[in-house]
Structure 1
């Protein structure tokens, strides 16, 4: 291996230099990988719980004439009352998720940069094919698509800012907002594409997180492999079913 060294004479005479090949990074790679594993699992747990909550859109109206999903949204806003102010728990969740996403993005770009610097002009060849190889190569791409979707989704169904949100958006009317939003075909198509990207990203992410957290036992690895495909698939199917149900008029 050839290296750029400021003292070529020392190399010629067989002398050893203690100068490192590259500067020591501020944060070691193992710490970045561990951070990405933990923050990724936090986000994965959130999307699973978020999907389960949103499936309440399929429940019939209650005796009071209100949709169960709207009651669920109000419960989230009053969670922790009277200890916490209104939406206090929601803001705690949001801040935790925001910090987790920021750390996850930083780790992704930092590790990608280090990988390119270490590899130099040489690129990996003769990679094993299959879904796992594809998800590995596209983690950064699927992550960027998901980031764009998260921003759009917040503007659409949380904040209600146009043109992301529909003109009929009303704060607290979760069921109606979902119906008005997903009735727009382009929004539903974008949502479905994002859910496929989420499946690909989570599948490889869960598998990587298990490795970075030190889960190496054969039986544990087999269980993690099943979870890595099953949970993201359930999230993808559950989330995709909602815009399709609205587009086909099954929910109105």
Structure 2
């Protein structure tokens, strides 16, 4: 915003300025919110598919091979023989990594802009309940999930100690899950991380509905139900695995 038809004498004496009230950002806020919404939905779809695949831990063995191990081999050989082994899997990993970088950058950028814009004035007690708590804690829950993702990759993908158990073996998904979740501190960490994921993902989908411009009353009602139903299914499914192993129901 600038002053039109300003009094030049007043400007000279410092009473009026033609400078904008705030600097124009390199990227508009709406663009960052759009990127946050899209990358968040990518992660939401990923964790749902990932949870469904991991539930194969409950399926019976096939010819002496654990069902989840067969699933893992399928992921590594997708696209073959046209594409090299693990090439499609690495495409998915790169897409997720780029989405993660964009999502984290957007979160800090929006938080910084909000803080600078609000200044010392804070709005409180505008909304109550779970939705208000999720709103205030989005950055914190996001950081917790980032740490969880790093631990998860070191534990069950790369097998790096001390995150991973000593018995870790590449390709032996079932045995690695049993060895990892048999450690109660790790099982509890995974369970708590899934509760955090529910809070972050449910509110993230709720925000994405608005940021993507979905304004129809019927569509908003449907998608807001999905915003809580899908994260709840993911949370319950993912919690069941470390809990079943820690309690000795799977071995």
- TM-score interval, smaller chain: over 0.9
Identify the range of structure 1 (140-149 vs 124-133) with the bigger mean alpha-carbon deviation.
124-133
Q: How many residues align?
A: 244
CA distance in structure 1 between the partners assigned to 2:160 and 2:222 by the alignment = 42
Aligned to 1:123: 122
Q: Does 2:92 match 1:93?
A: yes
Summarize the Cα distance change of 1:13–1:138 in structure 2 as closer, same or farther, 3 Å threshold: closer
Distance 1:75 1:33, change over 3 A: same
Q: TM-score, normalised by structure 1?
A: 0.94
TM-score (norm 2): 0.94
**Counterpart position of 2:77:** 78
Displacement of 1:130 after TM fit? 0.6
Deviations 1:9-52 (A, max 9, x none): 4398986x431111111111000000000000000000000000
CA distance in 2: counterparts of 1:212 and 1:201, whole angstroms: 16
Runs of 5+ consecutive residues of structure 2 not aligned to the other structure:
1-7
What are the ranges of 5 or more consecutive residues in structure 1 without an aligned counterpart? 1-6
| Structure 1 residues 21-36: aligned runs within 5 Å | 21-36=21-36
Within the alignment, does 1:190 sit opposite 2:198 as a pair?
no
- 1:4 aligned partner: none
Aligned-residue RMSD, C-alpha: 1.6
Equivalent position of 1:179 in the other structure? 178
Task: Tell me the equivalent position of 1:3.
Answer: none
With over 3 angstroms needed to count, the CA separation of the structure-2 counterparts of 1:132 and 1:12, relative to structure 1, is farther
Q: CA deviation at 1:178?
A: 0.3
Q: 1:74 and 1:213, CA in 2 relative to 1: closer, same or farther beyond 3 A?
A: same
**Equivalence map 1:98-113=2 (5 Å):** 98-113=97-112
